[in-house]
Amino acid sequence: MAKKIQTAITPTRTEDYPEWYQQVVKASDMAERSPVRGCMVIKPWGYSLWENIMRSLDDMFKETGVKNAYFPLFIPLSFLEKEAEHVEGFAKECAVVTHHRLEKDTNGGLKPAGMLNEPLVVRPTSETIIGDSFSKWVNSYRDLPIVINQWANVVRWEMRTRLFLRTSEFLWQEGHSVHATENEALTRAHMMLDVYARLAEDFLAMPVIKGRKSTSERFPGAVDSLSMEAMMQDRKGLQAGTSHFLGQNFAKASEIKFQSAEETEEYAWTVSWGASTRLIGGLIMTHGDDDGVILPPKVASSHVVLMPIIKKMEDRQRVMAFTESLAKELEDQMYHQRRLRVEIDARDIGGARGWDWIKKGIPLRVEIGPRDIANDSVYLGRRDRAHRDRISLKKDYFVGQVLTILDDIQDTLYNRALAFRKEHTTAIDNKDSFYEYFTPENQEKPEIHGGFSLSHWCGADHCESKVKEDLKVTIRCIPFTSEPEKGECICCHQPSNGRVVFAKAY
């Protein structure tokens, strides 16, 4: 019997992927559950990662002319009622405030006292309340376009929660724009999806497939929803960002009108787009291994940890002086418009110190002891390699090459994830094979089954619903392709104009 390899995280990904994920989040010290049902506390290591994602995304937004603003957390119930499809889509997830003060009850506790004249919905998304502002800001075609974004929290009262992936309260950005023409609005919707794809692939090292949602998967009230889909290591899909062309639906609900150049009164065209802390969950599930998180350097909470090894008190001053000098040399460098961030961990806890940083996913671990100092060298470990795969490098060489090493880690993570997606993406044209592919528990080798199936779909809702009911498989997106491809629907064998991405998903 083969000896089981010791890992920092138990269970492993193959033993119990959902529990592996929970244990990785805990071991990485990124977040923990809060006393409030379904909510989380994002700890400094996790929030620093989110800050870096925000900073990268915010810069890209502003390159396209987006300006930041902020809108109320509370939305009058009557605002949501103006757009019927929208309110129906979010009704079951809404948290509602009905009272505005507390008073003591007869038992010495507190009870709600003053009932509000109109209930307030805690922001699930802001199309309606931002639409109210747009209706006041827009009078003429000269006022358009308006393109704004807000960084905020939202509340969606989820029944089953998982840290970062699905919580009752989460952090996100939501962008909203208003335009004079349909074409201009559609251009903006595609532009923002491209921004998300650039964030995912260039910064998170997460390959994505861009496409549009089927009718049943659209954002409530949208005319068209565009999304990018990523594959996690359990071969499920994750929707990593969406951009919605809202047509004139919300403009009519909110009375967003303008006088055109021809002096006619027109309804505006609106767009919204959003991405959230779910990206952190996606990053963990794309790159993590059985020892913890692996952070892509471009968004990593920190880039390098220096771990001085001090076994004798007489060595302490020399080792710390060398370590602090090295930290300064590293911190003086810029890595992709961000100063290199260095941690110094001088805790005397033996091998547990290194494992702490492995579990947290820091890209580079550097050990420094008296022997290393005597050779003017450092002992380097990379998080994208096995924990025992460490090498000695001359200090000056390491300082000169650290940015190149970080870029190599970034590229390695992306290429590894892309290769995994390619390995588990297949074109399937036979219904029996399709059902077999998504029923791995019936297979002798379940590890080779499941993933993304590129299969034909006729466009009928009932075929999509049938697959979802039978297999819990959904159409993740209808990929953007240059050429239509004729075929037969995987479900009903009726004519199809192209393949779509089917997968199980989060």
Q: What is the 3-state secondary structure (H, E, C) of 86-153?
A: HHHHHHHHCEEEEECCEEECCCCCEEECCEEEEEEEECCCCHHHHHHHHHHHCCEHHHCCEEEEEEEE
Contact 41, 34 (CB under 8 A): yes
Q: In what side-by-side order are the strands of the sheet with 115-122? A: 74-76, 115-122, 95-99
Q: Residue 30, exposed/middle/buried by CB under 10 A (0-12, 13-18, 19+)? A: buried
Please count the other Cβ atoms lying within 10 Å of the Cβ belonging to residue 151.
Answer: 14
Residue 473 phi, psi (nearest 5): -110, 135
- Sign of the dihedral defined by the CA atoms of residues 97, 99, 100, 103, in that order: negative
Assign 418 to helix, strand or coil.
helix
Compute the average pLDDT of residues 249-270: 96
Q: Give yes or no for residue 5 having a pLDDT over 90.
A: no
Assign 308 to helix, strand or coil.
strand
Please count the other Cβ atoms lying within 10 Å of the Cβ belonging to residue 413.
Answer: 24
Please count the other Cβ atoms lying within 10 Å of the Cβ belonging to residue 150.
Answer: 16
Beta strand 452-456 pairing with 425-427? parallel
Q: Residue 55, exposed/middle/buried by CB under 10 A (0-12, 13-18, 19+)? A: middle
Contact 293, 24 (CB under 8 A): yes
> Quick one: pLDDT at residue 2?
52
- The overall average pLDDT reported for the chain is 95
> Quick one: pLDDT at residue 32?
97
> Quick one: pLDDT at residue 1?
47
> Quick one: pLDDT at residue 159?
79
Compute the average pLDDT of residues 376-404: 97
> Quick one: pLDDT at residue 87?
74
DSSP label of 235 = S
Rg (CA), the chain: 26
Beta strand 342-344 pairing with 304-308? parallel
Instruction: Determine which of 155-164, 253-262, 318-327 has the lowest per-residue pLDDT on average.
Output: 155-164
Q: Which helix (H) or strand (E) holds 475?
A: strand 474-479
Which residue has better confidence, 378 or 85?
A: 378
Compute the average pLDDT of residues 162-180: 97
**Residue 466 banded pLDDT, cuts 50, 70, 90:** very high
> Quick one: pLDDT at residue 305?
98
Q: Please, how many CA atoms are within 13 Å of residue 170, restricted to the half-sphere of its CB?
A: 26
Cα distance between residue 73 and residue 124, in whole Å: 9
> Quick one: pLDDT at residue 456?
97
> Quick one: pLDDT at residue 448?
64
Cα distance between residue 367 and residue 390, in whole Å: 10
Single-letter code of the amino acid located at 471: L
> Quick one: pLDDT at residue 482?
64
Residue 409 phi, psi (nearest 5): -65, -45
Q: Give yes or no for residue 228 having a pLDDT over 50.
A: yes
Compute the average pLDDT of residues 104-109: 90
Q: Please, how many CA atoms are within 13 Å of residue 100, restricted to the half-sphere of its CB?
A: 8
C-alpha triplet 504, 484, 455: angle, nearest 5°: 25
Beta strand 364-368 pairing with 304-308? parallel
Contact 135, 254 (CB under 8 A): yes
Give the pLDDT confidence of 116-144 residue by residue, as tens digits. 999 999 999 999 999 999 999 999 999 99
Query: Which structural domains are found in the chain, ordered by start?
Result: 17-68+125-287 (3.30.930.10), 304-421 (3.40.50.800), 425-503 (3.30.110.30)
Compute the average pLDDT of residues 27-34: 97
**Residue 307 banded pLDDT, cuts 50, 70, 90:** very high
H helices of 245-350, in order, are 249-254, 278-287, 313-331
Above pLDDT 70, what percent of the chain? Answer: 98
Cα distance between residue 56 and residue 203, in whole Å: 8
For the record, the structure tokens of 476 come out as 């993740």
Cα distance between residue 379 and residue 368, in whole Å: 7
Contact 365, 357 (CB under 8 A): yes
Q: Give yes or no for residue 345 having a pLDDT over 60.
A: yes
Contact 83, 164 (CB under 8 A): no
Q: Is the pTM of this model over 0.85?
A: yes
Q: Give yes or no for residue 84 having a pLDDT over 80.
A: no
Cα distance between residue 90 and residue 135, in whole Å: 23
> Quick one: pLDDT at residue 483?
76
